[in-house]
Structure 1
Amino acid sequence: MDSVNTKFSSSDEESIAQEIHAVEETRFSRQKSKSCISRSTVKNRTAIIDERVGSYLSIDAPNALIEEIPMSGQEKDIVYSAINKNFLFRNLPEESYNLFFSQMKKYTLDALEIVFEQSHPGRNFFIITSGRIEVLSNQKQVNILTVGDSFGELALLHDSLRSASVKTLERVTMWSLERNVFRKIVKIINDQNYEENLQFIETIPIFQTLTKLQIEALAYSLSSMTFKAGEKIVNEGDLGDLFYIIKDGSVYCLEEGREIKIMAKGEFFGEQALIYNNERTASIVAIDNVKCVGIGREKLSKVLGNHLEHIIYQNSIMIALERSSILRLLKKDQLLRIADAIHISKCLPGEIIIPKNTRKGLFIFIVLNGSLIDENGSIIAKKFCIIGDKEIRLSEQENINEDIISSNDLIIGTISKQEFEDCIGGPLDQVLIMNEATSCLKRVNIFRCLSDDKLQLLVRELSVQEYFHQEIIVEQNSSGDSIFIIRSGTVDVFKDGVRTRSITLYDYFGERSVLFDEVRTATVIANGPVSCWVLSKESFLNVIDAMIREQLVKRIELQDNNISLSELAIVKLLGRGRFGIVHLVVHKDNKRLYMLKSINRKKIEEYHIQENLILERNILLQMDHPNVIKLVKTFKDIKRIYFLMEYVRGMDFFDVIRRMNEVTEQNSQFFVASLLTNLEYIHERSIVYRDLRPENIMIDEDGYTKLTNFGLAKILNGRTYSIVGAPHYIAPEVIVGKGYSYAVDIWSLGIILYELICGGVPFGDSEDDPYCIYEAVLQRNLTFPNFISNRTAEKAVIAQLLSEDPLARTGGSIEKLKQHSWFNNFSWDDLMNRKLEVPFKPKVLDLSREINKSLMRNSEIDNIITIEEEKARPTKLKCRKKKDAQVNWDIEF
C-alpha cells in the first residue's frame, strides 16, 4: 500500500520538520491478498492528519438518491448486526445505537454507479441492506460485498484517502453515517457519562481528598453495570471487592433478610470493601431496573497506585500542608517527602494527644479527621489544621500549659522536628531562602535546563549584596564577571545615558558575562534600596563543567532572535512536506546554522491552516529545553510564513535503531528515560504531543534525544477527541473516541520501548491497514518474543506503559514512573547533566564546503524557495470547503 510519506531524505545531517499529513489507507487493504511489509526494515509510518487543518470537500456516492427516513424493522436488524460487529462501536453502550439509527441516511444507487474512488478522501461509513457491490484496487476486483457487509469505517475517524474504489453491481440500498455526526454522538455519550461519573465521585466523602487528576482517572475507570428488578447485587457475608454508585433506579438494603433502608440515584454502597477487604455487612437487591457504575480494588490500585486509605491520608496531609501559610512555601517534592514520613495514628475520644509541658516546636501535628480540644472542651484544631508549623522554625520555645485531647474518633499525623528537617534538607528558614534562590535561578534562561543538583550547588555560591538609592551596580562598557538577580527593589537600565527600562523583583541582568568575555552593554542603577543575589563567574565555573557550559552557550546562541531574513543564506534543501519546504540556512556573519521552514500563503489560504500555524508557533515558543527542538524566530512577507528553527546535527531515531541492531537494557533505559524527561517537560506546559514515534525523534551529534515536529501537538484544557498520530503508536482511548489526555504519549513511549527491545511494534506489526492495526491495539494481546523471556523488569515496565487504564501507565505521575524498579540503577541527574555514556553517536558530516559555496553564491532566499515551490509535485487533494477569510491572523509572526 502506498502511503504519503513526508520524511525528509538526505544524509545523516538531516533535521526533521515533518508536516501534517494524511494516510492513504482504509479497511479495504485487509480484504486484499497483500504482502506484509516488515516494520523493522521499512520506513512507512505516516501520521494521520490533524483535524484542526480542516476537512476535505468530498462527496461519496454523488449520484445516489439520499433519503432521511426511518429504518424498517428488517433494515434496523441488519444495521444493528453490522455495527455491533464493528470495533468502532464495540465500546459504546448499546442504548446509544438508537442515536446512530436516527442520524443515518438511506442511499439508493443503480447498477454500475460509483460509491467512491480510490485515493479520494471520504466522510461516510456504509452498511448494505440490499444488492451487491464490488471493491476495486488499481482497477482490479479484490472483493464483492453484499447484504450486512459494511465498509468505509475509517472515514468516521479521520481524513484518510480511500485505498480502493467501490462500484455497484446491481441496484443497491445502503444506510450511511457521516463522520461529523458519528464523532458528535460519541462525544455527547462519553462526555455525559464522564461528567456524571465526576459529579458522583465528588459527592462521595471518601473521595473528597483526592486530587483533580485522581478524580478524573477514577471517572474514566468506572465500569457500567445493569441489574434487573429482584436481582441480588451484593450478598451479605461475601468478601467484598467492588464499590458501587447508583446512577439510575433504586435498591433494598437488607440485613439478615430484614429491610434496613432503600437507596436511590446518587447513593453508594460497598465503600468499606475498597479500604478494608472485609465481608459484606448487608445484601443489596434491585427494586427495579438499576444502573450502577463501579470500581474494584484491583483496578483502583492500578489507577491510584496504592491502597485507597493510604492515598486518602496522603492527599489529606498535602491539603493541610498547602493550607499552612508557612509550609506551603516549600517545594512540591519537599512536601511529598514530609507526607511520606508522617506517622498516622487513630485515637479514641478523650485520649491525650499532646501532654501538658511538652515543648513547642518539637513536633508537627496534622489533624486528618476529627478535632482536638483543650481541657475546657474548646476546639483547638479541626480537620486539615496543623499544630506546630510556626513554632518549628524557632530554636527557643516555651512549653504547652495544658493537655490537648481528641474530642471524637481522631486520625492524626505526627512528625518530629528532626524528621521534618531531614525531609526538607535543613532548618526551615534556611531551606525557604534556598528555595527562593533556586526558583529565581530557574528564571534565568541559561540556567533553566540545569538539573536540580547543579542548581543547588549554584545557590550555595550566591552572595547577597545591598545597594543604596542611585548607586551604580554595573557600568556600560566595563568588564563583567557576575550575574545579578534582584531580590528586592527596582533598578533602572541606561544605554548610552538614556533610560531604556526598569526591572524589579526576580528579574536579572549580566547573565552573558558568566559565559562570554563581553563588556557590559548597559548601565544599571538602583532606584531606591536594592538587594541582589550575585553569582560570580569564578563560582559559576567551579560548579559547571565544560560540557554543560558548551550546552549553555548553544542555548544562549539560540536565544539571539535579532535576525532578519536577509542575513540568512540557503545551504541546501532538507525536504518537502505537504504544506511547506525546509532548507538548511546559515547566518552570513557568524556562520551559525538553522533550519528554515517556509509555507506559501497560497497553500495556507487554500487549505485554511492559519489556526494550525498559530497553534504550532504558540507551542514552540514555550519550548526551551536542550532535548526539544527550539523555535528561534518566525518571519513573514507577502509570499510566505517562515519558521526559523534550531538545526539538529545528527540522525533520526528510526535509522539509529536499525543501525544498532541489538539494543541492550542499558541502552533502552537511556532512550526511554530521555524521552520521559521530554514528555514531562511538555506536559508541565499543558501540551500533549500526540505523535511520539522514532521518526519524530532525532539523536543529536552528542548522542542525546531531541524531540522534533510539533505539528500534531495541542495545548490541553481538559480532554480532547481528535484522532491523530501514526496508527501503530495510537493509544486505545484515542481510537474509541472516549476522550483522552497526556497519557496517550506514555502509551506511545511504551510502544517505542517494546520496539527497541523486541525489534517490532507489539500490535499489528505486520499490518499496513489502519483498521487491522486499530483492532489489534484494542485487543491489546501483549506478547513477548522468547529471547527476552528472562528480562522480567523490562516486560513489567512495558506492561505498565501499555496499560489499558491511562493513569496506571505512570502510576499517578511521571515522577512516580521514574521511581519504577526498572530505573533503580539509573541516574536522572547524570542524564540531565549529559554525563551518561550514550548508546550511539551519529557521524556528523563536515558542511563547511557547502556553507562557503552558499555564501559565495549569495542567492536571494526568495528565488531559491520559489524554484523549489515550482518543482513540488501537484497535490492529489481536492479543495477544502471555503471558509471566511481570517484577517490579520499572522500579526504575531
Structure 2
Amino acid sequence: FLHKFDQRIQVRPGEVIIWQGSSGDAFYALESGQCDVLKDGRSVSKIQAGKTFGDLALVNNATRQATIRATQVCKLWLFTRNQFRDLAVKQELEQIEERIQFLQQIQLFSKLVRTSLEKIAEVMVLKSYNTGERIIKQGDAGDAFYMIVSGRAVVTQTTTFGSSAGTELARLGPGMSFGELALIEDAPRKASVTASCACKCWTVDRHSFKSLFGSMDEALNESIGVSMLQKVRILEALTDRQLQVVARCLVSKKYLEGEVIIKQGDVGDSFYLIADGEVSVQVNHIQVATLEGGSFFGEMSLLSNEKRSATVSAIKDTSCLVLSRNDFNEHLGTIEEVNEEARRRKEAASRPRGDTGSGLFMSLRRVSGSFFSASPTSSPSQSLARAKSMGNVKGTNALFSTTNAMFELSSLERVKKIGSGTFGTGFLVQHT
C-alpha cells in the first residue's frame, strides 16, 4: 500500500506533525523515529516506527483529537484524503470488472449487454456460509439469486410433509447458480440448498434487480434488442449507449399464425425485429422470402414514411420487438442527424492531435459556480467583462477561480433528445 505513493517526508525532533483541533486531511505512516501524542498539552502515549495515525482524515474532515510531535528524526509516509479516495475508486472499478467477468459465465445473464451487467455488478453482495449451513430453505419465500464463487453446496428436496431428510437433487460448485426464479416472481423455494463445505456466494436480491430493470423480461428484451439492432445496417453509426436508448423504446408485440403484420402499400412508420417465430414476405401476393427469429424487416420506415413494398404475415405464432419512427426521432433525432454526427465524430478522431480542422467549438467557462460560453479567442479581460455584465461575478479577482473546458461539437455524443422549442431542439450529450 505504501509504495503506491511518493509523498515521503522527514521531520526534526520537536516539530509538530498534527495540531490538536486542526482539520484533518491526511493519514500518516511512521517509517522510522518516534512521536509523542499530546492531549491538551499533556503527553499521553508514544507512536513507534511501523505505526500509523490520523486515519479518520481518510473518511471525513473531523478535527484532530491530539497533537503529534516528533521526539526523534522521523521519516513518514503521507496520504491525503483525495489520494486515498482515488485508490478506493480504482479498486472498486477493478472489483466491478471481476464481477462482470463472473456474471458473463452465468447462463441467466449471458445475453445481457455490458451496461446491464455493470448495473448488476454494483448491487451484488458477497456472503459466506459455513459447512452444513442452509443457504435457502424449501418452502420459504424466494427473494434472492445466488452464484457460487468458492466451495460447494448440495440441493435437496423434501416430498413428505414434516420429513427432515430430503432427496438429493444436485451438487453445485464454483460458477454455478441457483434461486433464479426469485428475480422473476415471488414464489416459494422448490428445494433447499446447503453448504457442504465453507462456501462463498454472490447474491442479487429481487428488490435491487427490479429497481434496475423492472423485470427479468425487460432486462432480457433490452439486451436482445441491442444485439439485434447492431445487425441493422442503417443503424451501424449508433454508439453502444445510443443503441441502448433505442432498445428501451422497443415494444414487444405478439402475432398469431396467419396474422398480417404489415401490408404492402400501407404507409410505414415502424420497424420490426423478430424475437421468436417465423414470417412470410410477399410481394403482389407472391411469397419471396421467409424470415425467422433474429431477422428484421421494415427498417426503411425509420428513414421516411414511404409505402410498404411488401406484405409480411406470421407463418406461426410470432413475437416481435417493434420500434416506431416517432420514438426513435423523439429520443435521438432523425437517423440522418445521427449519421451526420457520427461522421463528424469520426473525422475529428482521425485528425492529428492539436489540429482543430474546420469544426465548430463550444467553450465553457465556469466563474463563481456559473457557466457561460466564451469564444476561444476571447482575452481574460474580455471574458471577465462579459461575465460581469451577466451578473455572474463580483470583484476583479474572480477570474482566478475559473476553469475552462473547450469541446469540439463533433466530440459530443448525442445521448437523448430533451425537447424542442421555438429556437430549436435540445439534446443531452456526452463528451467522448
TM-score when scaled to structure 2?
0.61
Corresponding position of 1:386: 296
What SS does the corresponding residue of 1:413 show, helix, strand or coil?
strand
Give the aligned length. 364
Given the alignment, which residue of 152, 172, 189 partners 1:263? 172
Given the alignment, which residue of 200, 206, 214 partners 2:116? 214
In 2 relative to 1, CA 259–188 (structure 1 residues): closer, same or farther, beyond 3 Å?
farther
Say whether 1:326 aligns with 2:234: yes
- Deviation for aligned residue 1:223: 1.0
- Deviation for aligned residue 1:318: 3.7
Distance 1:146 1:832 in 2: 69
- Deviation for aligned residue 1:212: 3.3
In 2 relative to 1, CA 440–177 (structure 1 residues): closer, same or farther, beyond 3 Å?
closer
Distance 1:391 1:340 in 2: 16
What SS does the corresponding residue of 1:310 show, helix, strand or coil?
helix
Given the alignment, which residue of 315, 339, 352 partners 1:404? 315
Residue deviations 1:457-484 (CA, integer Å, cap 9, x gap): xxxxxxxxxxxxxxxxxxxxxxxxxxxx
What SS does the corresponding residue of 1:628 show, helix, strand or coil?
strand
Say whether 1:352 aligns with 2:257: yes
What SS does the corresponding residue of 2:311 show, helix, strand or coil?
coil
Given the alignment, which residue of 235, 238, 246 partners 2:137? 235
Corresponding position of 2:54: 152
Distance 1:125 1:649 in 2: 46
Residue deviations 1:550-595 (CA, integer Å, cap 9, x gap): xxxxxxxxx8xxxxxxxxxxxxxxxxxxxxxxxxxxxxxxxxxxxx
Alignment-mate amino acid for residue 371 of structure 2: V
The percent of aligned pairs where both chains have the same amino acid is: 16
* Structure with more helix by fraction: 1
User: Do the aligned residues in 2 keep the contact of 1:372 with 1:382 (CA within 8 Å)?
Assistant: yes
- Deviation for aligned residue 1:227: 0.4
Given the alignment, which residue of 194, 197, 203 partners 1:294? 203
Residue deviations 1:136-186 (CA, integer Å, cap 9, x gap): 6xxx45x84589x974115657999989631489x9xxxx98649988996
- Deviation for aligned residue 1:122: 6.0
RMSD across aligned C-alpha pairs, in angstroms? 5.8
- Deviation for aligned residue 1:231: 0.8
Given the alignment, which residue of 119, 124, 129 partners 2:28? 124
- Deviation for aligned residue 1:291: 0.7
Corresponding position of 2:411: none
- Deviation for aligned residue 1:219: 1.5
In 2 relative to 1, CA 238–166 (structure 1 residues): closer, same or farther, beyond 3 Å?
same
What SS does the corresponding residue of 2:98 show, helix, strand or coil?
helix
User: Do the aligned residues in 1 keep the contact of 2:222 with 2:244 (CA within 8 Å)?
Assistant: no
- Deviation for aligned residue 1:247: 1.1
Say whether 1:317 aligns with 2:225: yes
* Structure with more strand by fraction: 2
Corresponding position of 1:646: 383
Distance 1:359 1:217 in 2: 42
Say whether 1:204 aligns with 2:109: no
In 2 relative to 1, CA 154–271 (structure 1 residues): closer, same or farther, beyond 3 Å?
same
What SS does the corresponding residue of 1:225 show, helix, strand or coil?
strand
Distance 1:132 1:329 in 2: 65
Runs of at least 5 residues in structure 2 that lack an aligned partner in the other structure: 159-165, 282-286, 346-356, 408-414, 427-432
- Deviation for aligned residue 1:631: 7.2
- Deviation for aligned residue 1:310: 1.7
User: Do the aligned residues in 2 keep the contact of 1:366 with 1:413 (CA within 8 Å)?
Assistant: yes
Residue deviations 1:340-387 (CA, integer Å, cap 9, x gap): 362344x8xxx627559954876643233x4537699x973333x323
TM-score when scaled to structure 1?
0.33
- Deviation for aligned residue 1:390: 4.0
- Deviation for aligned residue 1:214: 3.3
Distance 1:412 1:631 in 2: 49
Given the alignment, which residue of 273, 277, 285 partners 1:366? 273
- Deviation for aligned residue 1:298: 1.5
User: Do the aligned residues in 2 keep the contact of 1:633 with 1:645 (CA within 8 Å)?
Assistant: no
1:84-103 alignment, distance < 5 Å: none
Corresponding position of 2:186: 277
Structure having greater relative contact order (Cα 8 Å, sep ≥ 6): 1
- Deviation for aligned residue 1:238: 1.9
Distance 1:341 1:356 in 2: 16
What SS does the corresponding residue of 1:260 show, helix, strand or coil?
strand
1:589-668 alignment, distance < 5 Å: 623=364, 628=371, 646-647=383-384, 649-650=387-388
Distance 2:127 2:9 in 1: 41
Runs of at least 5 residues in structure 1 that lack an aligned partner in the other structure: 1-53, 64-112, 444-502, 509-558, 560-620, 636-641, 653-697, 716-813, 819-826, 835-893
What SS does the corresponding residue of 2:228 show, helix, strand or coil?
helix
